[in-house]
């Protein structure tokens, strides 16, 4: 497949221009004109790019790319090394941040729900990034959901608040979405799950009576890139692989 064709297809599939984001979505680094093999991962780290180079991949697809608003624009240090790896090996880099979070089937939030057996019934928060719906079992306690997350994600989550509270309405948003906690409460959530937690989150969970689970930024956001690898294989006929590089955060 031609690089331009792949880029256009991904931009349309993920509706890249619809969302306001703090990074460029789509093709971030241009490589060779034809793409046969794609390596998918969560973040365009040096470790992932090295795997792409040694594995003779034509392109890399990630959720967290190389360029963010507010970054120092100088190409030095780790930025130079990452860019050099891509350019020296003629490898393209595709990065989709919020578009990969919100996609109704391939997105991180949708894929986490699928993994956990949660049923989304509505959206909430800025740009409808958060989902709200039913847990796998109605009335399942918050601490039971935390244990299920630990089992499926392979990482012990942090539960703050009343772990014995029965949950009929659960809200979730992957990654660093602790800032949506109050909006989740206003939307009627009886438990909120995200990737990260901040100091004010603890007080809000205790004072509102709505428990909060921080299940890990990386742990909750690795499933969108994995789903994209499957899509590239099955739908576009490319040779795509997903690699999960451990990240404890």
Q: Residue-wise pLDDT tens for the chain (249 aa)?
A: 999 999 999 999 999 999 999 999 999 999 999 999 999 999 999 999 999 999 999 999 999 999 999 999 899 999 999 999 999 999 999 999 999 999 999 999 999 999 999 999 999 999 999 999 999 999 999 999 999 999 999 999 999 999 999 999 999 999 999 999 999 999 999 999 999 999 999 999 999 999 999 999 999 999 999 999 999 999 999 999 999 999 999
Tell me what pLDDT residue 139 has.
94
What's the predicted TM-score (pTM) here?
0.97
Tell me what pLDDT residue 183 has.
98
158 vs 5, 142, 190, 192, CA distance in Å? Answer: 43, 11, 16, 12
Beta strands in the chain (DSSP E): 26-29, 37-43, 59-64, 92-95, 119-124, 130-134, 140-141, 158-160, 166-167, 170-173, 191-194, 212-214, 239-242
Report how far residue 234's alpha carbon sits from residue 216's, in angstroms, rounded to the nearest whole number.
29
Report how far residue 97's alpha carbon sits from residue 163's, in angstroms, rounded to the nearest whole number.
32
Tell me what pLDDT residue 96 has.
98
Tell me what pLDDT residue 174 has.
98
27 vs 30, 107, 219, CA distance in Å? Answer: 7, 18, 25
Tell me what pLDDT residue 248 has.
94
């Amino acid at each position: 497949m031609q690089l331009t064709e792949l880029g256009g297809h991904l931009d349309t599939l993920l509706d890249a221009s619809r969302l306001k984001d703090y990074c460029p979505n789509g093709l971030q680094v241009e490589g060779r004109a034809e793409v046969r093999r794609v390596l998918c991962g969560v973040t365009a780290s040096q470790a992932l790019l090295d795997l792409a180079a040694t594995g003779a991949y034509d392109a890399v697809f990630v959720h967290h790319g190389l360029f963010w608003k507010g970054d120092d624009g100088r190409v030095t240090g780790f930025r130079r090394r990452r860019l050099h790896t891509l350019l020296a090996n003629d490898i393209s880099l595709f990065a989709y941040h919020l578009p990969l979070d919100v996609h109704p089937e391939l997105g991180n939030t949708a894929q986490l729900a699928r993994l956990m057996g949660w049923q989304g019934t509505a959206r909430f928060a800025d740009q409808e990034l958060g989902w709200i719906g039913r847990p796998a079992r109605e009335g399942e306690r918050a601490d039971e959901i935390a244990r299920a997350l630990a089992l499926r994600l392979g990482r012990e989550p942090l539960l703050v608040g009343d772990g014995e509270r029965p949950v009929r309405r659960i809200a979730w948003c992957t990654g660093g979405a602790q800032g949506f906690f109050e909006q989740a409460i206003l939307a009627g959530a009886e438990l909120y799950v995200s990737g990260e937690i901040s100091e004010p989150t603890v007080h809000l969970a205790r004072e509102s009576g709505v428990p909060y689970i921080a299940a890990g930024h990386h742990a909750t956001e690795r499933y969108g890139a994995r789903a994209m690898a499957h899509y590239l294989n099955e739908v576009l006929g490319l040779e795509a692989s997903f690699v999960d590089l451990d990240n404890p955060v």
